[in-house]
């Protein structure tokens, strides 16, 4: 059972992001998440997973 949401707060978006070939697609997806999460002041949790592409993993940091 999920935790209760305190009065005045709402649940935010969840994004599951796998490897994307197109860098612009990744940028658009992350921008959309940023906007939906509330931009500055948003509480964001990032869970990193292993990546076979070390350069891409470093870019996403």
Q: What digits encode the pLDDT tens for the residues 26-35?
A: 888 888 888 8
- The residue ranges of every structural domain in the chain are 23-59
pTM over 0.75: no
Higher pLDDT, 20 or 26: 26
SS (H, E, C) the chain: CCCCCCCCCCCCCCCCCCCCCCHHHHHHHHHHHHHHHCCCCCCCCCCCCCCCCHHHHHHCC
Q: What digits encode the pLDDT tens for the residues 38-59?
A: 888 777 777 776 666 666 666 6
């Amino acid at each position: 059972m999920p935790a209760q949401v305190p009065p005045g707060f709402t649940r935010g978006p969840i994004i599951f992001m796998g490897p994307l070939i197109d860098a612009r697609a990744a940028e658009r997806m992350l921008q959309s998440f940023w906007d939906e999460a509330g931009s500055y002041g948003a509480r964001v949790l990032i869970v990193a997973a292993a990546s076979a592409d070390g350069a891409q993993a470093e870019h996403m940091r």
